[in-house]
């Protein structure tokens, strides 16, 4: 978040750094904040792990992140890694976010879905402290790279301005095969993050319907409606133009998954 949780858990065991999405992913629902408001390593991946000679597989990207010095990584990425490292017992088997972890929603559960008193003291201390965003990646590119307005460029420090200038130059240059591969990797990550957020909103709608005694069919109707609205909103709010319109088939798939999750959660009560 957005990065695939199963792959990132692999690095946790290998490198002592549990890397899970923000997006990434994930990152979701009691307050229904957007994925962009949650800590993420997406910008760091784009800047440091999608170069010409990088391994762009999930494992390769995870190794790239784990191998970076904290001073190189963005504040958002460091917050993300600190949170995941401190909350291992909360999302592993038996933890309050274990099911969310299996569904790829680890960070969402830790930050937004459970109350602070449900978490271990170590995890609670590792959660990021929310403050105003600043800088190119944490503020203007939090939702992905895009062209800035003159007033936004004026807010950048000298290092960020230089990074932005180089990015603009590369953006205007003819696209190589590696550039296309990089763009595909970025688009895939962003789509996963958006899909996760849409699914979470649809799950909340289905859970509300079931709690009121509605049938699974009606819960599906509500989940589909909310999923469609959330998907349209995600595309509209994507200032980078990376996200494509969700297909009707993908909306139905999201709604079904949402109802299944809501039903499972209700049965566990």
State the number of CA atoms in the 13 A half-sphere of 193 facing the CB.
35
Report yes or no: 17 and 41 within 8 Å, Cβ to Cβ.
no
Whole-number Cα distances in Å, 144 to 104, 151, 205: 21, 18, 28
pLDDT (tens digit per residue) in 193-212? 899 989 999 999 999 999 99
Number of neighbours of residue 119 by Cβ within 10 angstroms: 23
**Which letter does DSSP use for residue 241 in this model?**
S
> Model pTM?
0.43
Dihedral over Cα of 14, 15, 18, 21: its sign: negative
pLDDT < 70: residue spans in the chain: 1-37, 130-131, 143, 175-176, 179, 269
- Give the C-alpha separation, 243 to 191, whole Å: 6
């Amino acid at each position: 978040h957005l990065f695939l949780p199963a792959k990132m858990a692999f690095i946790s065991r290998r490198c002592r750094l549990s890397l899970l999405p923000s997006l990434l992913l994930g990152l979701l629902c009691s307050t229904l904040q957007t994925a962009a408001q949650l800590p993420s390593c997406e910008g760091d991946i784009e800047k440091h792990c999608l170069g010409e000679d990088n391994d762009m597989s999930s494992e390769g990207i995870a190794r790239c992140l784990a191998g970076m010095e904290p001073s190189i990584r963005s504040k958002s990425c460091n917050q993300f890694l600190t949170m995941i490292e401190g909350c291992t017992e909360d999302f592993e088997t038996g933890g309050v976010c274990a099911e969310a972890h299996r569904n790829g929603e680890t960070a969402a559960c830790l930050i937004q879905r459970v109350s602070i008193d449900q978490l271990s003291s170590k995890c609670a201390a590792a959660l990021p402290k929310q403050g105003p965003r600043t800088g190119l990646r944490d503020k203007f590119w939090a939702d992905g790279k895009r062209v800035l307005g003159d007033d936004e460029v004026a807010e950048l420090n000298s290092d960020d301005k230089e990074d932005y200038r180089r990015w603009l130059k590369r953006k205007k240059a003819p696209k190589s095969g590696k550039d296309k591969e990089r763009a595909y990797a970025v688009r895939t990550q962003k789509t996963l993050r958006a899909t996760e957020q849409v699914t979470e909103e649809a799950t909340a709608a289905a859970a509300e319907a079931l709690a009121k005694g509605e049938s699974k069919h009606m819960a599906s109707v509500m989940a589909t409606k909310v999923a469609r609205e959330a998907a349209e909103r995600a595309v509209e709010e994507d200032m980078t133009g990376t996200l494509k319109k969700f297909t009707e088939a993908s909306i139905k798939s999201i709604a079904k998954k949402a109802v299944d999750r809501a039903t499972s959660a209700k049965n566990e009560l």
